[in-house]
Amino acid sequence: MKLRCPLLLFLLSLSWLNLSAYSADTELLPIRGLHCGVPGPNDVAMCAKFIREALPKEGVNTLVLEINYKYQFKRHPELAQEGALSQADVEELVAACKDAGVQLIPQFNCLGHQSWSRHTFPLLTKYPEFDESPGKYPDNEGIYCRSYCPLHPNVHQVVFALIDELAEVFQAGAFHVGMDEVFILGDEDCPRCQTKSKAELFAGEVTALHDHLARSQRTMWMWSDRFINGEITGIGEWEASQNGTEAAILQVPKDIVMCDWHYEKAHATAPYFALHGFPVVSCPWRKADVALGQLEIIQKVRQYANEPVKQRMLGVLQTTWCGMSSFVRAYNGEEGVRSESARESADCFKKLFAAIREMKN
């Protein structure tokens, strides 16, 4: 098998990895995951059927459901969006995952992604004082997504309550806090953040979320892009950071599961996180060649690296960037699926998981 990434060849050549100590290991990956947006209430039964029937067949053992404000919160009912799931809906999905032997991990986007296009999400609509840049960017013109201020004295009281409620209703032993693509941080007009370094602010919020989840013995998962130097690696400002947050990698707890997403090329950054002491999963989206390249990197590191590094290379998390309803319909080959992301990610998912199953043979 030919390696596609020169950086991995460099990493594997480091003498202190002691590569000769380990022989080939063809065991299935510890994490074989799928990430989807929350389904609509009318599609819960369809998605539960998919969980019970399709996921075990494919070999999936982890499902990350991105909930955000699509749940009928009881502690903060004012923050539920239209079409939110009820507790009964969630319990149906939880039961399906238990039947299928699938770990169910809820996701709530923290810090960034508090808006999309012209629409600002409920946290900053109902609590505008939490906005990192209040009064700026009318109609969200000129920005990607809004962020909440990590140093506002009351923001965690609300955010932690949402996290706790979701973790409890999903009966979750792990929780995904998002944290990708954070561009608004340390705003020059924020009286609390303006003098702080972006790495310090990012590390502080990551640690605060981690420590809160740790108090209930829950493992934190997060997107890892803000820990990669986008300029040095050439990866750029989307899948990596160019605003100084990358130094935070040295300031946060090491038991956070890093979700290392790359969609256009199979960048060899998963070993980077493993070498820094973090458990990591590689996250493709819609290009099967990229997904298979990421899988190849995981295989090579798990085959040759020292045991601690090998054990941190947990596996894969296929992303979809569509609702679970659309993904299931695309997976089932139904006609009329309008989401291109659903069609492409379903195809990528099938090819990736076929390759993972072949690892066992």
The per-residue pLDDT for range 78-98, each reduced to its tens digit, is 999 999 999 999 999 999 999
Q: Confirm if 100 and 52 have CB atoms less than 8 A apart.
A: yes
Domain ranges of the chain: 31-312+329-358
| Span 195-215, pLDDT tens digits | 999 999 999 999 999 999 999
Provide the 8-state DSSP code for 17: G
| Dihedral sign computed on CA atoms, order 185, 219, 293, 305 | positive
Q: Confirm if 65 and 105 have CB atoms less than 8 A apart.
A: yes
| Span 216-235, pLDDT tens digits | 999 999 999 999 999 999 99
pTM: 0.92
Q: What does CATH list as the number for 31-312+329-358?
A: 3.20.20.80
| Span 240-287, pLDDT tens digits | 999 999 999 999 999 999 999 999 999 999 999 999 999 999 999 999
H helices of the chain, in order, are: 6-13, 44-58, 87-100, 122-126, 155-169, 198-214, 230-233, 270-275, 288-304, 307-312, 324-331, 340-358
The Cα 201–Cα 205 span in angstroms is 6
Residue 19 pLDDT > 60: no
| Dihedral sign computed on CA atoms, order 66, 263, 198, 135 | negative
Q: How far is CA 5 from CA 11, 276, 294, 323, in A?
A: 10, 19, 10, 32
Q: How far is CA 149 from CA 170, 187, 222, 240, in A?
A: 27, 9, 18, 21
